[in-house]
Structure 1
Amino acid sequence: MIHFAVAVLALLCVPVLARAGTPRAKLIALVRQDCGSCHGLTLKGGLGPALLPQDLAGKSVEGLATIILDGVPSTPMPPWRGELSSEDARWIAQKLKEGFPQ
């Protein structure tokens, strides 16, 4: 129940965070809050798999960007197409492979 409450609280903060800062700061906030609600706030895994560089080593930036944009059918991973551009999805994928900014 506590995990659910934390996830809901994180999602409620997204609209506020999305209005502040540079476009890249908005993407960082989105990954930390929205992606973090399933993949863990430190991206070490949770409902979804870990998104640390060692976990993504065998995956291409383009492949990860496609997952971000189109989601994964029959899983909780939603599509972000419409919310993110292809460029934004590739930037997120590249940063995840490098070690996401703190």
Structure 2
Amino acid sequence: MPRTLFFIGLCALAVSATAEALTPARQAELRSLVHQDCGSCHGMRLTGGLGPALTPQALQDKSHEFLFATIRDGRPGTPMPPWRPLLTRQEIDWIVDYLKSAGAAP
């Protein structure tokens, strides 16, 4: 019985974590983060600066996984910091989708 309850608890936790959507308010905060924090190195219009351009056109050949890892872990030997301590997996996924969409275009 305890093993069954433990398994049910794990399943419930997994479902609640994946079902939790970002609120519109959090999405607005992330948009601001992209344009302000990322923009401080990648250009305020995300067209490049210290870091490369982050426009949908510039990212079209980059995989979701590559961009996710870059945001999560940074790029050693470059000014790109890891955002893992500050952003959840879901938030990083949202940022990657946002950057690759027309919404992030200048």
TM-score (norm 1): 0.75
Give matches, 1:55-94, under 5 Å.
55-94=58-97
Q: How far apart, CA to CA, are the structure 1 residues paired with 2:57 and 2:45?
A: 14
1:38 and 2:38 aligned: no
- Unpaired segments ≥5 residues, structure 1: 1-20
- Unpaired segments ≥5 residues, structure 2: 1-23
Other-structure match for 2:101: 98
In 1, are the aligned partners of 2:55 and 2:99 still within 8 Å (CA)? yes
Question: How many residue pairs were aligned?
Answer: 82
Letter in 2 for 1:25: A
> Which of 27, 30, 43 matches 1:24?
27
Higher relative contact order (CA 8 A, sep 6+): 2
Other-structure match for 1:52: 55
Runs of 4+ residues over 4 Å off in structure 1: none
The structure that has the greater radius of gyration is 2
Q: How far apart, CA to CA, are the structure 2 residues paired with 1:101 and 1:42?
A: 8
TM-score (norm 2): 0.73
Query: 1:22 is paired with a residue of what secondary structure?
Result: helix
